[in-house]
A = this chain, B = another copy of it.
């Protein structure tokens, strides 16, 4: 399986992290984002949104880090990471949406501006971040993991841009339960350190 990858991308790190934890082999192909390779063939034909990561497995091409996590976990990762019952799947999807929406447009956006100079609204991104982190910290005050009482792809989808948040100027100091979740996740066998 080939992953079109950028090491610094938190969305790509979601996939690499899960593959490492679940012991799934990925062939990494670095995409030359600074030269716009994600906006040209072959990438743009695989993902019309012009983003990494993209996964190719035989004839299948998948965009979107959350969708790739579902595919890898469901096909190769075993039921611990992505269960077969719809209630468990839905509990996880709550956090996949949280990653694609709330985290992406706060912590991730702030980092894109600060670290890579993206023309986004940094003040708005920083404004939203404490509420996003507070929801997460409160949940983790009562739960060791985001869903199902065990590590799942929900944790792999949310952790990357949270642990990378200081690169966007976001202070994680006020969130002790997030810090302890980091420790639990980083102690899992196979854990791949952040880029």
Contacts and interface: CB of A to CB of B under 8 A. Distances in A.
Interface of A: 48-49, 60, 62-64, 66-68, 70-71, 73-75, 82, 84-87, 89-91, 93-94, 96-98, 100-102, 104-105, 121, 124, 135, 138-139
Nearest to A90: B71
A87 B64 contact: no
A102 B49 contact: yes
Given A71-B87, A121-B121, 8 more contacts: A70-B86, A70-B93, A74-B85, A97-B97, A101-B101, A101-B104, A101-B105, A121-B124
A138 B47 CA distance: 12
A70 B147 CA distance: 15
A73 B86 contact: yes
A69 to B, nearest CB: 8
A90 B68 contact: yes
B96 A97 contact: yes
A135 B121 CA distance: 24
A92 B31 CA distance: 25
A86 B71 contact: yes
